[in-house]
Chain A
């Protein structure tokens, strides 16, 4: 049996004798492993950033969303966002009678055209109350947030987000004291929120916050609100709070059957879990597609090894004549295939790493390469070498020395 070092030298000789072909074969594995690594990294990164953006909305959050009441027999579904079943009275009732609550922030949000200094943007205008900053984890960079008296008086004041500020006034300008026109009504800017950078279902940086009463009176002209955010004191009390809110609102809305509720109470943890499972599915799907390219790479290895064995039949005969045993021949060709996939795997990890760096730079997703995915890639590439290298190696070992020597 050949010594390991000698085997290694024979393999090196075999592969370097046909550099272009070896390189192209390795390339197939590089692309396969690289895409598995990159897509896995992107999937994990996407999962992380979606979770982070959901959680950046605030901690231990519950959302009360309006929903259409389901009558017996007929379902009148007006769509969740536009249903008009929640009022400020509901928000006040929750604050007054549900225990374990840190804060309640009713919201009335809609998109409007906002104008200032000749600039013009379409943005989310959120009517809310002072508790919003605590509940939604919003910080003020300059000026102040809406006060209780501004809410009770229905004043036309506005707090704007940094992205909206950039659009309307330009970067690095303090907008406090200036005026923004929303829906053709002037609002006095009293504050600027700090950038949160979350990218989820709505961007908190691209928004204008106004007193909820002002939004009802001047903008929507209706008493309905679009949602209520409730923050619980801690994670363990969320289920209790969720149940209490549900039963309270059922009483408030005079509904006896919980299945016919005209609202939904959604738990933040549920949203995170749902989003995670969606991104998880996508990651698996992407890795699966990348796996196909790896399979194609493996077939490339087999193709090359079969060609090599045929081309080198005479050499195999010679090696057998001068004393190589079948196991030596088999080991030589098997490990040639494994060496190809191993080299491909190593470069594939580098390629995948670079690809995920590039993608992280140009998209909002932060690629995360885990040790696990690197080990997996190495294992898979060595495995492909063995699986796709075994048959050609076996064919080489089975050659009859006399026939092999005569081969032309």
Chain B
């Protein structure tokens, strides 16, 4: 359960103050699949950083599972990220020259999960994103783009987070591979995971059940996606 109350965020760049978010209020319930859309400069990246507990707001309140994240220290934010957030980045960000399994297990290492359990959970996560078991011990640089992004998704969900945040997850993929990745998100959502997808592409946002449009630091539209493209329609 996510609740933002009148969130603002401003930066100082070269002495001038720039307001990236000008008062965002929204609620995302558990199990939702939300796309946050907007052109570059709209503030969607800033919003993602706040939702992902990478940064704190200038004013306003952010509650994640009832906890007030907006007043947390850096160390507390790190713990929130460890326990409640799973990230998927545009540029994948796998550890280079490292096996698929080690990459997926990395969040569990920081969470202090015992070794045997790490293995099990990593395998389960990889299977749930449809990653072929024969490639579990491959090094990350021997994988294709689609495979890499599914490893990144498995890593994001291995810790069973309250929220999976995907920042332009298909930005570096061709259309066909991108579709595979988006269908993976849909399946995870069907399995009960809360997913927030950040994108500037309308086609990508169409996979979500709810689309929030952002312009100039404010919510322009927040509506149910009636034409949702589902895995079944292919």
Q: Do B54 and A402 touch (CB < 8 A)? A: yes
Q: Which residues of A contact B (CB under 8 A)?
A: 2-3, 6, 10, 13, 17, 314-315, 317-326, 328, 401-402, 405
**Least Cβ distance of A365 to chain B in Å?**
48
Q: Are A323 and B107 in contact (CB under 8 A)?
A: yes
Q: Pick the residue among A10, A13, A315, A323 that contacts B81 (CB under 8 A).
A: A323
B109 pairs with A326, CB closer than 8 A = no
A315 vs B102: C-alpha distance when bound (angstroms): 14
Q: Which residues of the partner chain A approach B89 to less than 8 Å between Cβ atoms?
A: 318, 321, 405
Q: Please tell me if the beta carbons of B98 and A13 are within 8 angstroms of each other in the complex.
A: yes
Query: Which residue of chain A is the closest to B165 with respect to CB atoms?
Result: A321
Contact (Cβ within 8 A) B79 A321 = no
Among A320, A323, A324, A402, the residue within 8 A (CB) of B49 is A402
Is B78 touching A324 in the complex (CB atoms < 8 A)? Answer: yes
B209 at interface by CB-CB < 8 Å: no
Candidates A10, A315, A318, A323; contact of B82 at CB < 8 Å:
A323
- Taking a contact as CB atoms under 8 Å apart, the answer to whether B107 and A314 are in contact is no
Contact B110 A321 (CB under 8 A): no
Seen from chain B, the residues whose Cβ lies within 8 Å of a Cβ on chain A are: 49, 52, 54-55, 74-75, 78-79, 81-83, 86-87, 89, 93, 95-98, 102, 106-107, 109-112, 155, 159
State whether A405 touches B75 (Cβ < 8 A).
Answer: no
Q: Which residue of B lies closest to A328 (CB)?
A: B110
8 inter-chain pairs at a CB distance below 8 angstroms, sorted by A residue, are A13-B102, A320-B81, A322-B81, A322-B86, A322-B110, A323-B78, A324-B78, A401-B54
CB-based contact B96/A17 at 8 Å: yes
Bound CA–CA A21/B93 (angstroms): 23
Contact A321 B109 (CB under 8 A): no
How many whole Å from B18's CB to the nearest CB in chain A?
Answer: 15
Nearest-CB distance from B181 to chain A (Å)?
Answer: 18
Residues of B close to A321: CB separation below 8 A: 52, 54, 81, 87, 89
In the complex, how many angstroms separate the beta carbon of B44 from the nearest chain A beta carbon? 14
Cβ contact within 8 Å between A314 and B93: yes
Q: Is the CB of A17 within 8 A of B97?
A: yes
Q: Are A2 and B74 in contact (CB under 8 A)?
A: no
Contact with B106, one of A314, A322, A401 (Cβ below 8 angstroms): A322
**Closest CB-CB distance, B226 to chain A, in whole Å?**
34
Roughly how many angstroms separate A321 CA and B89 CA in the complex, as a whole number? 10
Nearest-neighbor residue (CB-CB) of B78 within chain A: A325
Whether B54 contacts A319 by the Cβ 8 Å rule is: no
Instruction: Give bound CA distance, A257 to B202, whole Å.
Output: 113
CB nearest neighbor in A for B98: A13
Decide: A402 near B55, CB < 8 A? Known: A2-B110, A314-B93, A322-B110: yes
Q: Please, which residue of chain A has its CB at the minimum distance from the CB of B152?
A: A318
> In the complex where A402-B49, A402-B54 touch, is A322 in contact with B98 (Cβ < 8 A)?
no
- Are B75 and A326 in touch, CB under 8 angstroms? yes
Beyond A328-B110, A402-B54, whether A322 also contacts B82 by CB under 8 A is yes
Please determine whether B79 and A325 come into contact, CB atoms closer than 8 angstroms.
yes
Complex Cα distance, B112 from A3, in Å, reads 7
B75 and A325 contacting across the interface, CB-CB below 8 Å? yes
| Distance in angstroms between the alpha carbons of A319 and B87 in the assembled complex | 11
Contacts of A401 in B (CB 8 A): 54
Q: Which 9 A-B pairs have the closest CB atoms?
A: A323-B82, A323-B110, A322-B107, A325-B78, A318-B93, A6-B109, A321-B87, A323-B81, A401-B54
A contact residues around B107 at 8 Å (CB): 322-323
Q: Give Cα A325–Cα B80 distance, bound, in whole angstroms.
A: 11
Complex interface: chain A residues within 8 A of B75 (CB) = 325-326
Taking A325-B79, A326-B75, A326-B78 as contacts, is the C-beta distance between A319 and B97 under 8 angstroms? no
